[in-house]
Structure 1
Amino acid sequence: MKLILMQIILAVTSSVTTCYKIKQTNSDRIVNGLNATLGQFPFMVSLSVVDSETVNHLCGGSIITRYWSLTAAHCIDTVTEILIKFDYIKLLGNNHIVKNSTQHDIDCYKIHSQFTKTAGANDITLIKVKQPFDGAYEKIIIRPPTNFKYVTDSIVTVVGWGDLSFRGAQSEVLKYVELRLVDDDSCRRMFDYFDSNSSITPDAVVCAGTRAKSACQGDSGGPLIQRLKHLYQIGIVSWGTACGEFPGVYARVTTYLGWIKKIMKQHNSNCPSKCITSHRNT
Structure 2
Amino acid sequence: MAKSGIIFLLAVAEITAKQHISNLEAKIVGGEPLEIHEVPWQVALLENGSFGCGGIIYSDCVILTAAHCVYGKDEEFLSVRGGSAFRSSGGTVVVVKKTIVHQNYIHNPTVFKDSNDIAVLILKSPLPLDGKTMQLIQLSEVRTEPETPAVVSGWGKIFSSPVFGATKELMATVLKVQSPDRCKKAYDAWSTLFGVNLEIGKKWPDGLICASSTFSNVCNGNSGGPLVRMDSDFQYKLIGIVSRGSQCQGPDVFTDTLYYKEWIEHTRGFQPLTFKPEILLGVNLTIVDTVSCRKSYIEGNYTFPETVVCAHQCGKDSCQGDSGGPLVTWPNPKLVGIVSGGTDCAFSYPGFYTDVALFRNWILQTIKELNIY
User: Normalising to structure 2: TM-score of the pair?
Assistant: 0.56
Quote the residue 1:45 is aligned against. 43
Larger % of strand: which? 1
Q: Is the 8 A contact 2:177 2:209 kept in 1?
A: yes
Residue from 133, 137, 141 that aligns with 1:140? 137
Q: Secondary structure at the match of 1:83?
A: strand
Change over 3 Å in CA distance of 1:188–1:181 after alignment to 2 = same
Select which of 150, 158, 168 maps to 1:156. Answer: 150
Mapped contact 2:66–2:118 kept (Cα < 8 A):
yes
- SS of the aligned residue for 1:46 comes to strand
Match of 1:18 in 2: none
Who is 1:99 aligned against?
A: 90
1:105 shift after superposition: 4.0
Q: 2:177 aligns with which of 165, 176, 181?
A: 181
Cα distance in 1 for partners of 2:37, 2:272 equals 28
- CA pair 258-74 structure 1, distance change in 2 beyond 3 A: same
Distance 1:107 1:268, change over 3 A: farther
Contact 2:46 2:53 in 1 (8 A): yes
Percent identical among aligned pairs is 24
On the 8 A contact 1:36/1:174 being kept in 2, the answer is yes
Match in the other structure for 2:246:
241
CA-based RMSD of the aligned residues comes to 2.6
TM-aligned CA distance change 1:263 to 1:231, over 3 Å? same
Q: Measure the CA separation in 2 of the matches of 1:251 and 1:100.
A: 27
Over 4 Å off, 4+ runs: 30-34, 136-139, 268-272
TM-score (norm 1): 0.73
Partner of 1:203: 206
Contact 2:47–2:77 at 8 Å: present in 1 too?
no
Aligned-partner Cα distance in 2 for 1:105–1:169: 25
Task: Call closer, same or farther: CA 1:62–1:216 in 2, change over 3 Å.
Answer: same
* Residue type of the alignment partner of 1:47: L
Structure 1 gap segments, 5+ residues each: 1-29, 273-282
Q: Distance in 2 between matches of 1:179 and 1:165?
A: 17
Residue identity matched to 2:208: V
1:110 to 86, 97, 100: 100
Gaps of 5+ in 2: 1-26, 275-313, 316-373
1:241 maps to a residue whose letter is S
Structure 1 or 2, whichever has the larger Rg, is 2
Q: CA deviation at 1:47?
A: 1.7
User: What amino acid sits opposite 1:258 in the alignment?
Assistant: E
Offset, 1:117: 1.6
Deviates more, 1:185-194 or 1:233-242: 185-194
Match of 1:129 in 2: 123
CA distance 1:105–1:117, change in 2 (3 Å): closer
For each residue in 1:106-151, what CA deviation from the matched residue of structure 2 results, as whole angstroms up to 9, or x when unmatched? 3211000111122151000000013222226754111x24xx2221
Q: Distance in 1 between matches of 2:250 and 2:149?
A: 16
